[in-house]
Amino acid sequence: MGSLHSSDQPALNVEFEYPSPVLLLERGLHSVREGRYAEGVVYFTLAREQLGSSYVHLATVLDAFTQGYIAFWDAQQGLQEASKRFVQVDVEQQSRIVTLQTLLPALVEEAQAKSPAMDQPAIKNQNPLPHPALRAPLQDAQRRYLAAPARVEVIDTLPALHITCFGGFAVKRSGLPVVLCSNRNGQAILRYLMTQQGYRASVDMLMAALWTEDESEVAHHKLQVAVSALRRSLNNGLDCDPGGGYILCKNRVYQLDSLVPLRTDVDEFLAYYQAGQQASGDSVAMQFEKACQLYTGPFLTEDLYADWSFMRREQLSHIYLTMCSTLAEHYLEAGRYEDTLKWATAILKENQSDEAAHRQLIRAYFALGRRSDALRQFHRCQYILNEELGVQPMPETIELFHIIHRGEIS
């Protein structure tokens, strides 16, 4: 560290020159990997403008990426709007339920005061006739129910499941751990369902994901064996029909029984994230912290190299890192620097080349009076970026280093 004090402007391995296409492409890839797609598109566009005629294929790929980003952005905006609307409607409904629960006791007391007949301590008739205004709708509903095909079940309701997908896959039934089958593909089928909308997947999807090198007939036989093993472990101790229980199959589609109460750490994680998006002030941090506490590791670590789990894992990781960054910045502005260190460090555990998190650590260390740690963090950032991405820190990071080196930061 002695060389840092040799001059006011320490020599850094940084070249300030007009960026070449290669440097712009590196910056673009760096930005995209950190989830800053808009910034990446800008770098790619600048690089595209400098490419010569001999780079037709690369130019085509860059153009396709830009168009894909536009389509991705439009789809993301639509998804966010739909998500916000869903949360808004749900919050409104919950508010109405609370209002009804608040008003009902007063209405009952008022009705009892007006009608002595309601003072009876208990209802003698266990099957009272419905109010005349409700008879027709109830009779109509009863006719529809009787006309519907009966669903044969040995048991009315299966015990609730709780499935953990972050940091290691685990299943609990009524709060007790479930020992899954020894058939690895049987376990993988359940994990695969966790990546799908409605926890359902066709026979063809499962065979393509888990038995890519087998012939169709062989893959189908292995699928049936694996599903059978999975069913036995999930249904263990329950009186279920053959082919029934938690895993159902209809029209060559396997799915978790939609009538079973199911909770997953991913659903809870996303619920807290959405609640934080709708909140304001300190409530945002409270909801985001609850969400981040559930993220004990990457999604489905057992399938890190499987194509079918990649997109979901990246999506959830991006959400987690976004919340951590928000928390780190929130606590930095609030002067809670130890909390800033906590959440910025959490980011770097997931992605050690996140330059913004390095800057948050540098600022927090300096604010805590740990100037040497702040300078050391800059050099660690510089080393990681060079080793992993082959780039130097951004100008704002370098400027932050100079400011702290001079002791001028506020």
Sequence length of the chain is 410
Choose the final residue of a domain: 228, 260, 292. 260
User: Does residue 253 sit in the same domain as residue 275?
Assistant: no
Residue 266 has what pLDDT?
96
CA distances from residue 42 to 14, 32, 92, 322 in whole angstroms, order as listed? 22, 11, 40, 21
Residue 142 has what pLDDT?
55
* Burial label, 113 (beta-carbon count in 10 A; 0-12, 13-18, 19+): exposed
**Mapping DSSP to helix (H, G, I), strand (E, B) and coil, where does residue 258 land?**
coil
CATH at residue 171: 1.10.10.10
Residue 25 has what pLDDT?
81
User: Does residue 183 sit in the same domain as residue 283?
Assistant: no
Residue 152 has what pLDDT?
39
Total tally of structural domains belonging to the chain:
2
CA distances from residue 329 to 281, 317, 370 in whole angstroms, order as listed? 13, 18, 18
Residue 338 has what pLDDT?
97
Give the number of other CB atoms < 10 A from CB of residue 182. Answer: 9
Name which of 359, 367, 375, 295 is nearest 325 in CA terms. 359
Choose the final residue of a domain: 207, 235, 260. 260
Report if residue 103 sits inside a domain: no
CATH at residue 277: 1.25.40.10
Residue 128 has what pLDDT?
43
Q: What is the pLDDT along the chain (410 residues), one digit of tens a residue?
A: 444 443 444 444 444 445 787 887 888 777 666 656 677 777 778 877 777 767 777 777 777 777 777 776 666 565 555 555 655 565 556 556 555 656 666 666 666 666 555 444 443 334 444 455 555 555 555 555 455 444 433 445 789 999 999 999 999 999 999 999 999 999 999 999 999 999 999 999 999 999 999 999 999 999 999 999 999 999 998 888 888 899 999 999 999 999 999 999 999 999 999 999 999 888 999 999 999 999 999 999 999 999 999 999 999 999 999 999 999 999 999 999 999 999 999 999 999 999 999 999 999 999 999 999 999 999 999 999 999 999 999 999 999 999 998 876 55
User: Does residue 186 sit in the same domain as residue 237?
Assistant: yes
Q: Tell me the per-residue pLDDT of 240-288, one tens digit each, with 9 for 90 and over.
A: 888 889 999 999 999 999 999 999 999 999 999 999 999 988 899 999 9
Tokens of 26: 């590196």
Structural domain that includes position 398: 268-406
pTM above 0.85, yes or no: no
Residue 58 has what pLDDT?
79
User: Does residue 283 sit in the same domain as residue 218?
Assistant: no
Q: Which residue, chain included where needed, has tokens 């604010």?
A: 367
Report if residue 129 sits inside a domain: no
User: Does residue 247 sit in the same domain as residue 308?
Assistant: no
Helix or strand run (H / E) with residue 253 = strand 253-256
User: Does residue 256 sit in the same domain as residue 316?
Assistant: no
User: Does residue 306 sit in the same domain as residue 200?
Assistant: no
User: Does residue 400 sit in the same domain as residue 286?
Assistant: yes
Query: Is the CB of residue 28 less than 8 Å from the CB of residue 40?
Result: yes
User: Does residue 354 sit in the same domain as residue 390?
Assistant: yes
